[in-house]
Amino acid sequence: MGKIKIRCFSTSFSKEPSMVPWISPLHYTKATSPKPDPPPPTTTITQTLKNPKFTSHESAIRLIKREKDPHKILTIFKKVANQRGFNHNHSTYAVTLHKLAHLKHLKEVDSVLHQMSYETCKFHESIFLDLMTHYSKSSLHTKVIDMFNSIQPIVREKPSLKAVSTCLNLLVESNQVDLARSFLLDSKKTLDLHPNTCIFNILVKHHCKNGNLESAIEVMKEMKLSKVSYPNLITYSTLMEGFCKNGRLEEAIDLFEQMVSKDRITPDPLTYNILINGFCKYGKVDRAMKIVDFMTKNGCSPNVFNYSTLMNGLCKTGDLKEAKRVFNEMKGVGLRPDKVGYTIFINCLCRAGEIDEGIRVLKEMEEKECKGDTITYNIILVGLCRFERSYEAFEMLERLSYEGVYLDKSSYRIVLNGLIKLGDLEKATGLVGVMASRGFVPHFATSSELVVRLCEGGRGDGAAAVVAVLVPMGFNPDVTVWSRVLEVVCMGRRLLGTFQVLDNLIQGTKNGTI
């Protein structure tokens, strides 16, 4: 290090060029802090589009997909079109219309569609199928037909049978019977339509949905006369489900046998599940179990849904022993129960009074990373309260709130009813306050019962507090409840409390809640 310093001083007086630059000692005497890194450059949409680099169709699509503001979407759409040599294509129009429809900016959708009609590029009808779905979800059913009618002028081709079946199915699903009928008649005239199996299946579903099973059977007979639309698995499954929902189980079985023996159509687990559910619904679980045995023997392994449906039927009949056997069999064949399967089994246990076993299964469920929902936890809460373990339910309610589990108003109402049934009015009153702070209102009957029981116990202050909390939330107690509260407060010679109760009564009357 010393040699370097000597060289520096010596070279400073030399005429030769210095190999090491001279550094002033003052540089080290001043405290210097490193300069902060400059902030990363922020690029806005406008800056990106002003960039002289050409924005390709792929880049424009990526920009539009990222945007959530419809006005910015349209800004991007218009600015990229101003580039020399750029013309919008099917993909840029498709993503723009999808985003605008998803954000429910329908006027802008109409504007872009109007612009499409002047374009010379080739479009595909998939744009309009997507828009039909959006309009159906928004209950704008006439717009669904409008989108169908826009296909031919803009795509410059007749709508395919897929487009017809999509439009018809959306109308049937939305229960727009008259629109569906008129649409089908118009399509037959204007498009020279020859319905395929898919369209016939939609008609079968339509009739089954309206309980007109005889008309559904007639449609299937018409399908058998056609060479291009013979009934398939969906046809039979839809009909069987219609018969099962109406309690015509034997006719559903006849259809099943006809499908297998005459038409040689192999049923899948979903078709079997229709029959299993139908028999379970009407309490014929023994027949449902025979169907499961039949499907196993014929090479169709039951899935989680089949086992869950069967367990649900066994739960309704109170056959816990068989429910346990089915649950263990499901796990024994290597199937992993899902949230529905676990919840149904927990319900079986809790209804039979095996609450601790139900809680154990809930823990097993969580260990398997299968998180329960509000229904699952409410079943446990109901079981605890039904068997006079409301204190445990109350503790569970508090614990779950801190564990990030979502609980709805039913959860709190279950525990509140249990506490009132046990006679713990103090905890019940406290829980009402918690419910009110979270926007949950107890049932009218429960609230009235709590107020009356507080009055009967001489707790006028508690009754007045409950009324004061619940009246602004819409609680409308009858005159006898109000009279009882006033009577108890007056007996305690609490004039201030009496005036507060009267104020609540008057305020509730003014607000229209009383």
Alpha carbons 193 and 349: distance in angstroms, whole number:
55
279: nearest Cα among 314, 305, 235:
314
Give tens-digit pLDDT for 216-264: 999 999 898 877 789 999 999 999 999 999 999 999 999 999 999 999 9
Q: pTM score > 0.85 for this model?
A: no
Of 203, 137, 135, nearest in space to 164 by CA:
203
Residues in the chain: 514
pLDDT of residue 237: 97
CB atoms within 10 A of CB 423: 10
pLDDT (tens, 9 = 90+) of the chain, 514 residues, equals 444 443 443 333 334 443 444 333 333 334 444 455 555 544 455 554 555 578 899 999 999 999 999 999 999 999 999 998 899 999 999 999 999 999 999 899 999 999 998 988 899 999 999 999 999 998 899 999 999 999 999 999 999 989 999 999 999 888 887 888 888 888 878 887 777 898 899 989 989 988 899 999 999 998 988 777 899 999 999 999 999 999 999 999 999 999 999 999 999 999 999 999 999 999 999 999 999 999 999 999 999 999 999 999 999 999 999 999 999 999 999 999 999 999 999 999 999 999 999 999 999 999 998 988 999 999 999 999 999 999 999 999 989 888 888 899 999 999 999 999 999 999 999 999 999 988 898 988 998 899 888 888 888 778 888 888 888 787 777 777 777 776 776 765 554 444 455 555 555 444 444 4
CB 377 within 8 A of CB 342: no
CA 228, CA 240: separation in Å to the nearest integer? 22
**Rounded-to-integer distance, Cα 63 and Cα 335, Å:** 43
274 burial (CB, 10 Å; 0-12 / 13-18 / 19+) is buried
How far CA 458 is from CA of 168, 290, 451, 491, 495, in Å, comes to: 66, 61, 11, 9, 16
Helices (H), 438-491: 444-456, 460-470, 479-491
> Can you list the domains of the chain with their CATH numbers?
267-350 (1.25.40.10), 454-514 (no CATH)
Q: Read off φ and ψ for residue 150, nearest 5 degrees.
A: -80, -10
